Amino acid sequence: MTTVVLPAEQPEHRPPRAASLFITGLGIGQICSWGTLYYSFPQIATAMGADLGWSKTQLYGAATLGLTFAGLAAWPVGAAVDRGHGRLVMTAGSLLAGLMFLLWSQVDGLALFYLAIAGIGALQAATLYEPAFAVVARRAGPLDARAGITALTLWGGFASTVFIPLVQLLLDHIGWRHTLIVLGAVNLILCAGLYAGVIDRRRDAPRPSIAGGKEDSRGATARALRTPAFWGLALAFTAYAATFSAFTFHLYPLLGERGFDSATVVAAMAAIGPAQVAGRIAIWLLAPTASVRRIGSFVVLVFPLALGLLALLPPVFASAVLVALLYGAANGIMTIVRGLAVPEMITREAYGAVNGALATPSMISRALAPAGAALLWAATGGYDAVLSAMIGGSLLLVGGFWVAARSSAR
């Protein structure tokens, strides 16, 4: 049964300036949350490993654990936002994340390190895109959230651009422990302050359905699970997360093994971030009203195309940059598709919970894929098999999304 919002509970028509402040505050928060909780890990882990003598297996085992906890926390976090607790979830998540960074700065043994990273991983589910998208969907209504979600992805696209050089600057001048203290302060003061200030819990209150009951996250999720579109998207997004995670973590050694020089590899990796933002801007400007079903059906084809070109083209600068631009732009657009797929292709009810249910297997596959790619590389002695597996994953993405698009169109 589709939930119909009563007229008295329709989203308020806020002044443009208030709407702009809401998205701007969330957007700056997303830059800082993504930059500290996600993008900072490889640089800090490298510095830690050199200082404490820990192996990459020990360090990245913690990252896998953290991302797994993020997947397990996705559904309950989404359900909490559906119940009107978006402000509490994102503010408390940032405060706890800040404390986890402070704990991390004091570690001398693996047990405390794994505890801190597990906590940071779980808190990603409370502070990154999924809860922010759910807050926007509650404020604007699921079908009117497109502009806000697109704008958030534009803000978030600058996280790596801002924080990777910032973290490196801090590491070079004050060391990894004090860098973690700074990142903790960013979460405690800036992120928590922004989320507390711009998310209005009165506008996030649960809205009654036409039958008079409040939104039921568990029931809406159960109904979504009975639709072919949900399972098609679950397959597509899980394959996408695994492929993108393996590609991101192994791009540097993969390109090097295929004969690209280090300067070309760095240039290609640097092109991915701007390409993501460019892809999102292109959708915003050129296809502002096109259905997510149609946008997604075309953009998923870019992933196997880019990876196929990587396998076939010669190891020259133009090849690497072309692949990076195609892959980055497609990834940027897919972030928008993931944010809008639930209300446009599955259900308008309980956005946070249903989106969280979709995100759970995706986050777990994102956590396990880098280690799986490393095992495949070790078993075969090269990255050819890893690249073939990535192409296979991208084809699963295409097939799953097309199944979801076809079934939701009915």
| Domain boundary pick from 144, 170, 198 | 198
Report pLDDT digits (tens) over 220-277.
888 888 899 999 999 999 999 999 888 877 887 888 888 888 788 778 877 887 888 8
Residue 7 lies in a domain: no
The model's pTM: 0.77
| Domain boundary pick from 198, 233, 252 | 198
Domain at 74, CATH number: 1.20.1250.20
* 186 and 140 fall within a common domain: yes
**141-145, 250-254, 256-260, 321-325: which has the highest mean pLDDT?**
321-325
* 322 and 255 fall within a common domain: yes
Domain count, the chain: 2
**36-40, 97-101, 353-357: which has the highest mean pLDDT?**
97-101
Residue 279 lies in a domain: yes
Query: Quick one: tokens of 162?
Result: 């801002």
* 184 and 252 fall within a common domain: no
* 140 and 222 fall within a common domain: no
* 181 and 56 fall within a common domain: yes
pLDDT at 320: 87
* pLDDT band per the 50, 70, 90 thresholds, residue 9: very low
Report pLDDT digits (tens) over 97-106.
999 999 999 9
* 401 and 340 fall within a common domain: yes
Instruction: List the domain range (segments joined by +) for residue 396.
Output: 217-409
